[in-house]
Amino acid sequence: MKALVTGGAGFLGRNLVRLLLAEGATVRCLDSRAETLPQAGVDYRTGDVTDRGTMTSAAEGCDVVFHAAARAGTFGDRAEYFRVNVGGTQNVLEACRAGGVRHLVFTSTPSVIFNGQDLEGVDESFPYPAHYEAAYPETKALAERLVLAANGPDLRTVAIRPHALFGVGDNHLLPRMLARARVGRIRRITVDKLIDVCHVENAAMAHVLAAQKLMQGAPVGGKAYFIAQGETISMWKYIDRLLAAAGFPAPTRTMSPRFAYWLGWTFETAYRVIGIQREPPMTRYLAGELSTAHWFDLTAARRDLGYVPRITLEQGLADLARHFAEERARERPPQVAFS
């Protein structure tokens, strides 16, 4: 397998690159971050999927493209989300066609179907909503639809929807949560719904399984698949476990779902008026995610892809706790003995 990974320097991308190398693939990585630390045996290229020429050159000669690059987050310039997530995906599709790439695995998200209500055990037949509270899920949904509609004899496509990635090396959600914990700015929502999450290595494995099935001609083309642990846990028990792994106590201050939503609307409005582009402490989309159940039926992924999580939720949380314990030990000043 000759594979290109867009967003190969990201949290999922790095794990996907490592797994592909372990599987014996020839790997090329395209990422906009110049600080990428190359892994041995990987053809690293600094570039952006929104640049058509760069994308076309990167895809040339590949058997499969894993399109993991995206603009994430719950707030920001709407036009930028469309430019990266929709326009970038259009460039990926065009590059595959121009370069004769026959297989495309797209990293999607369960957020594409989030309608602000509880999602309990839903499968892939659940429809896209008519309205989105943020540009990220909206643009990812548009991109997913483009990818699945492009499936055909010359380019076989599949979408993988990993939910709430976690694991050692998270450079997105967990660091922001811990930054807030350090200054005591996490409040519990006064409802505690069941969720399912996904260890990053399980998500990477699902992508490789999907590519293998596409290349074998299995009937997975044009389909989307939910990927998660298959182990439900309450939202705040999970957050408490993440904080405990990093050495922080569970938050005790609370707020209602309604207040969280109002706070998100207030922050979003103020940030737009002032012109602040960074993500506010609360958004309407985040308030909805924290206040609702979201866990999914994984039957299709198990049946069609042969997906079975290699790392359990307990193992993943234990790995995080060991990692943070080792970090604290390294940061501890050396003890000096006096005689």
Among all residues, which ones are annotated catalytic?
136
Structure tokens at 98: 């121009």
DSSP alpha helix (H) spans, the chain: 11-22, 52-59, 78-81, 88-99, 135-149, 173-182, 200-215, 235-245, 257-274, 284-291, 299-300, 313-331
> Which among 313, 257, 267 is positioned nearest to 289, based on CA atoms?
257
Residues 74 and 80: their CA atoms lie apart, in Å, by 13
Instruction: Evaluate whether 195 touches 164 at the Cβ level (below 8 Å).
Output: yes
DSSP 334: P
Structure tokens at 252: 């005790």
| DSSP output for 63-98 | SEEEE-----SSSS-HHHHIIIIIIHHHHHHHHHHH
Structure tokens at 229: 């642990």
Residues 53 and 2: their CA atoms lie apart, in Å, by 20
Amino acid at 59: A
Structure tokens at 113: 């179907």
Residues 226 and 186: their CA atoms lie apart, in Å, by 29
Structure tokens at 191: 């409802």
Q: Is 132 exposed, middle or buried (0-12, 13-18, 19+ CB in 10 A)?
A: buried
> Which among 118, 168, 196, 205 is positioned nearest to 317, based on CA atoms?
168
